[in-house]
Amino acid sequence: MSTKTLGTSATTSLNPALQFLPGYNSGMSAADIASVALAIKNDQINGHPIYPQAFSANGLLFVPNRGILKMLPGDWVGVDSQGWPILVSKNSIANAAWTHS
């Protein structure tokens, strides 16, 4: 098997998205944190229910059925239309072809 190219035809396809800033008094509102958390779904269960506590202000992103990613200040988390979380580093946001509103 060989590698493939992965891309998107849309520039704003991850919604909701939020820049991670550590702590509960960091500038991330509780409503924004909840919006991202409620968008993350369990892809291995019929009906794709919400994956509890997948995202919070604690700096850990729980990827359903895959593991835990540590977020660093300035990283971005977005969720695709199927409820899948995407973590993009602060460096990639600043220096690659990522955009955000």
* 12 domain residue, yes or no: no
Q: Report the number of distinct structural domains present in the chain.
A: 1
Reported in sequence order, the residue ranges of 1-70 that DSSP labels E, i.e. its strands, are 17-19, 60-63, 67-70
Within 10 angstroms of residue 44's Cβ, the number of other Cβ atoms is 10
Q: Encode burial over 1-15: b for 16+ CB neighbours within 10 A, e otherwise.
A: eeeeeeeeeeeeebe
How far apart, in whole angstroms, are the C-alpha atoms of residue 82 and residue 18?
17
Residue 49 lies in a domain: yes
Residue 60 lies in a domain: yes
Residue 41 phi, psi (nearest 5): -115, 155
Predicted pLDDT at 44: 94
Mean pLDDT, residues 25-32 taken together: 82
d(CA 67, CA 89): 17
Decide if 1 is inside a domain. Answer: no
6 in any annotated domain: no
Q: What is the pTM of this model?
A: 0.84
**CB-CB contact of 39 with 31 (8 Å):** no
Is residue 64 one of the residues assigned to a domain?
yes
Q: Which domain holds residue 88?
A: 17-95
Task: Identify the residue with better confidence: 3 or 65.
Answer: 65
CA 60 to CA 87: how far, in whole Å?
A: 11
Asked whether residue 70 is assigned to any structural domain, the reply reads yes
Chain length of the chain: 101
Residue 2 has pLDDT above 60, yes or no: no
Is 30 contained in some domain? yes
